Structure 1
Amino acid sequence: MKQLLLIPCLLLAACSTTAPAPGAAAANPLFTDRHTADPAPLVVGDTLYLYVGHDMARGDEMFNIVEWRVYSTTDMARWTDHGAVMKPTDFKWASRDAWASQAIEKDGKFYFYTTVEHDQTRPGKAIGVAVSDSPTGPFVDARGSALVSNDMTPQGPHTWDDIDPTVFIDDDGTAWLMWGNANFYYARLKPNMVELDGPILQAELPKYVEGPWVHKRGDTYYLTYASMDKSVSEDELVSYATAPAITGPWKYRGEISGPAENSFTIHPGIVEFKGQWYFFYHNGVLTVGDQGGALGRRAVAVEHLYYDADGGIVPIEHTREGVSVPRRH
């Protein structure tokens, strides 16, 4: 009888399963049945959606990220796995690499900005944008071409400077795209969300490496990013800057997070959900089957985030308990 009940679920592409972390609710890592990376939260009504890449590197392989997946929760304790929402080759002009992404809602549609490897017609990393009527997809290419490609930006130190897109819609409805490895780029988006509206600009950020994320609290804009300070660690840290406007000027405020355990990279995602702020990131502590955590086998985690009296972000300690244990700064 159990086999008969499972058959309809297997036949439904959109079938989801509830995936709470084992033990205490919302303990870290959040998901233990597969390796996940580059978390990007999105709040829609009373639900938080979390977009991740699916790490599938084996052995000493560096990165093999083959699809993007989405999870959701209404209470930060129980998570629903909605499965894969897209793969790199769904962009016909792309060849591989489901690198970091972010989804955002506008006018009832959901836009998914993400990093892929462009085919040989425009080699290098590129940013694509896909669209869906649902936060759980499926997402389809919204342009038929890259939104940003390597030949559109100043010559960087390598061909993967156009990665890690983050998108922010300001209070006046203007949307901004920010991205970059080694170089920090930003550009305004047209109201249709799938075209740039003006030149690609650059800003200098102390210790900047990659993985920018923008959020706003009150009148202050926060730009959080993976940074590097070899006097502290050989691995990435998380730093942040604040500004009175989305275009800056950005004031460096320091580091809020040390390196992720057993992971060179770290990727911040910050969101307010039901009156509480959360800091998402990934580490390399999870073993799945015969594959332990590593550079290309990461695991998504979350912590509470607090602000001090001056609006600064209180430094965050990475824990195995995550948000299952109430904390006060």
Structure 2
Amino acid sequence: MQSLVLLKMERRMTKIKKRRIVIIIAVLSLIIITAGSTVAFLRSRGYHSNFQDQRNWQVYAGSEETAAKQSQGVLQMNVGIGNKWINQQEKTDFEASVSVRIQTNPVSVGEGELPDAGLLFRVQEDSLSDGTDVVDGYYFGIDLYKQQVFLKQGDSASQKWQEIATKQHLIEANTDYRLTVKVAGNHIIGFVDERKDSWPVIDVVAEDFAEGLIGVQNQQLQTAFTKFAIKGYEESEGKEATYQNPLLPEIADPDVLYWEGTYYLYATTPGTNIGGIKVYTSKDLVNWEDAGMAMTAGPDNWGTEGFWAPDLIEKDGRFYMYYTANEHLCVSIADNPLGPFKQENVAPMHEDIQEIDAHAYLDDDGQYYLYFVRFNNGNLIYGAKLNDDMQTIDEESIVEVLAPSQAWEQDMANINEGPYMLKHEGKYYLTYSGSHFESPLYGAGYAVSDSPLGPFEKYTENPIMQSNSLVHGAGHHAVAESPDGKELFMIYHRHQTLYSTDPREFAIDRMRFTENAKGETVLQVYGPTVTPQPYPSGAK
């Protein structure tokens, strides 16, 4: 009997031990899982630096060494050339950011001098050494002198930075700018003071450097860097349909009319004289069908060559096409957007004046206006009221509204052309193309007025879209709404190659009215893009 009791007690103790072991294992498992989660969480947060700990940094002096010091989380770099702090936290795909404060204006700006500061990334370690100003890698930064955000690519052999893309941006001394670059594969996007609804200022593809080190650089400025951070980055694969520019070949100076659920595209056919104007149709701004000739030269329409820049508007069920032929403005009329367009009076609007690039605009009060270009030591934009017949101008109302005045508009020639009017919250935004169409500075800007005929004040951060090393000749635009009316798109042409102005091709990119850091309303363009973009909203 005693043996049986002892056996039962022994079995009970064994069960208790087993339960304890199970509990201990469970607790240990929970600790391991929690620890693993903690590690994953810490990894997801990435690496942060206040520049106090130099163990993860390597300092390289450029050809003009600068004094640098860290104090209270700030890396202070004084005037010099090619001075770099390189972080050893290498990531292939990543998001890196740093706050940059330029504290003084450039000491001097001469040929070859680069007063700028920002982020270096994908830097090739074998190109780093003291005395070297340019490394193999990319450089995303701000230029106080040029008032630009830029992305450059370095070549250590030639000791030159090659510009990939720029964006005009207000840069003020003694102001913090948070620079963020996100890199996945060959796709690079850059932000300044990124917010939830921010569009990148730079969006490009670059394939020369797939990985490398990350750091900061300062040139010929007194600059403070703070809050450096790196973390892994992975591009999300959106489920929505995308398009990618270009959308059509052999298109220049495009204009789009939206009528009863269909988009009608009219354009110059570059590089050849087709004897008129073609029309294309679409339901979504992306997929287009050739609908043939809308207007043909001959007995019904004036002109023999140079059929350029058509612009369409509707009034009382009739459609008016303002086009250029032989460098004179003409207006042709049809009862259908597809044409055929014919002139009621086969003649130019002004027989004795050369004019191009017309744009018709309807104001809220029912008054129609016409904007166009005349030649006077360059290309200047004029505006006037259209008479009720839509075929003649109120000559007494003609006024010069824009002339080339900003530096980017005066490269290779003095050019303001391709006008297009928008109205927003009671203000008139006259958008236009600037600079010679062969110039690398060719792009789009805008000016604002309280009246449709001015006076207009140009936006200080023009151009809002500009050619770059990936997209040349981006300009002469019109504007169209998405199918649901919720988005604006700039429709424009670009050169097919970087080496020839023709052939040209058709592209579209988003634009919007938004607020800048000062709370001022500004017009912004997300482009020119070369990467996949979501379809216009409301497209089926």
Distance in 1 between the 2:301 and 2:256 partners?
26
- Cα deviations across residues 15-54 of structure 1 (Å, max 9, x unaligned)? xxxxxxxxx754211124xx11111112223222221122
Q: Which residue of 2 aligns with 1:276?
A: 487
- Cα deviations across residues 228-249 of structure 1 (Å, max 9, x unaligned)? 299xx64422111111221112
SS in 1 for 2:521: coil
Q: State the AA in 1 paired with 2:383.
A: Y
Question: Could you say what the CA RMSD is over the residues aligned between the two structures, in angstroms?
Answer: 2.7
Q: Which residue of 2 aligns with 1:252?
A: 458
Distance in 2 between the 1:241 and 1:322 partners?
30
Distance in 1 between the 2:324 and 2:499 partners?
23
Post-superposition offset of 1:302? 0.3
Change (3 A) 1:103 1:114: same
Post-superposition offset of 1:272? 2.3
Unaligned runs of 5+ residues in structure 2 are 1-240, 410-414
Q: State the AA in 2 paired with 1:31.
A: L
SS in 2 for 1:103: strand
Q: Which residue of 1 aligns with 2:475?
A: 266
Confirm whether residue 173 of structure 1 aligns to residue 375 of structure 2: no
Equivalent position to 2:311, from 91, 94, 102? 102
Q: State the AA in 1 paired with 2:512.
A: Y
Post-superposition offset of 1:209? 2.3
- Cα deviations across residues 78-104 of structure 1 (Å, max 9, x unaligned)? 323211111344555422111111010
- Cα deviations across residues 249-295 of structure 1 (Å, max 9, x unaligned)? 21111211112766547211112232210001111127xxxxx9832
- Cα deviations across residues 139-164 of structure 1 (Å, max 9, x unaligned)? 11132211134x24xxxxxxx5x100
Q: Which residue of 2 aligns with 1:219?
A: 426
Post-superposition offset of 1:322? 6.1
* Kept after mapping to 2: 8 A contact 1:88/1:97: no
Change (3 A) 1:321 1:49: farther
Q: How does 1:17-28 map to 2 (within 5 A)?
A: 26-28=243-245
Equivalent position to 2:530, from 314, 320, 327? 320
SS in 2 for 1:190: coil
Distance in 2 between the 1:170 and 1:322 partners?
35
Change (3 A) 1:263 1:66: farther
Q: State the AA in 2 paired with 1:29.
A: P
Equivalent position to 1:147, from 349, 353, 360? 349
Identity %: 28
Q: Which residue of 1 aligns with 2:33?
A: none
Equivalent position to 1:163, from 356, 364, 389? 356
Equivalent position to 2:278, from 69, 74, 92? 69
Change (3 A) 1:322 1:88: farther
Unaligned runs of 5+ residues in structure 1 are 1-23, 58-63, 118-124, 153-159, 287-291
Confirm whether residue 38 of structure 1 aligns to residue 253 of structure 2: yes
Equivalent position to 2:289, from 80, 102, 126? 80
* Kept after mapping to 2: 8 A contact 1:55/1:65: no
Q: Which residue of 1 aligns with 2:218?
A: none
Distance in 1 between the 2:299 and 2:477 partners?
26
Worse overlay, 267-276 or 253-262: 253-262
Post-superposition offset of 1:315? 3.9
Equivalent position to 1:204, from 377, 402, 408? 402
- Cα deviations across residues 80-136 of structure 1 (Å, max 9, x unaligned)? 32111113445554221111110100100000000001xxxxxxx100000000111
Q: State the AA in 2 paired with 1:311.
A: T
Distance in 2 between the 1:198 and 1:132 partners?
25
Distance in 1 between the 2:350 and 2:243 partners?
36
Q: State the AA in 2 paired with 1:129.
A: V
Change (3 A) 1:202 1:90: farther
Worse overlay, 199-208 or 46-55: 199-208
* Kept after mapping to 1: 8 A contact 2:441/2:467: yes
Q: How does 1:111-130 map to 2 (within 5 A)?
A: 111-117=320-326, 125-130=327-332
Q: Which residue of 1 aligns with 2:448?
A: 242
Q: State the AA in 1 paired with 2:339.
A: G
* Kept after mapping to 2: 8 A contact 1:220/1:243: yes
Post-superposition offset of 1:198? 2.9
* Kept after mapping to 1: 8 A contact 2:245/2:529: yes
* Kept after mapping to 2: 8 A contact 1:82/1:136: yes
Confirm whether residue 192 of structure 1 aligns to residue 389 of structure 2: yes
Q: Which residue of 1 aligns with 2:246?
A: 29
TM-score (norm 1): 0.74
Post-superposition offset of 1:224? 0.9
The count of aligned residue pairs is 273
Q: Which residue of 1 aligns with 2:30?
A: none
Change (3 A) 1:323 1:293: farther
Confirm whether residue 47 of structure 1 aligns to residue 262 of structure 2: yes
TM-score (norm 2): 0.47
- Which has the larger share of helix? 2
Confirm whether residue 133 of structure 1 aligns to residue 335 of structure 2: yes
Distance in 2 between the 1:86 and 1:101 partners?
10
* Kept after mapping to 1: 8 A contact 2:382/2:402: no
For the pair shown, which has the larger CA radius of gyration, 1 or 2?
2
Change (3 A) 1:92 1:66: closer
Worse overlay, 92-101 or 219-228: 92-101
Q: Which residue of 1 aligns with 2:11?
A: none
Change (3 A) 1:245 1:81: same
Distance in 2 between the 1:322 and 1:70 partners?
26
Q: Which residue of 2 aligns with 1:121?
A: none
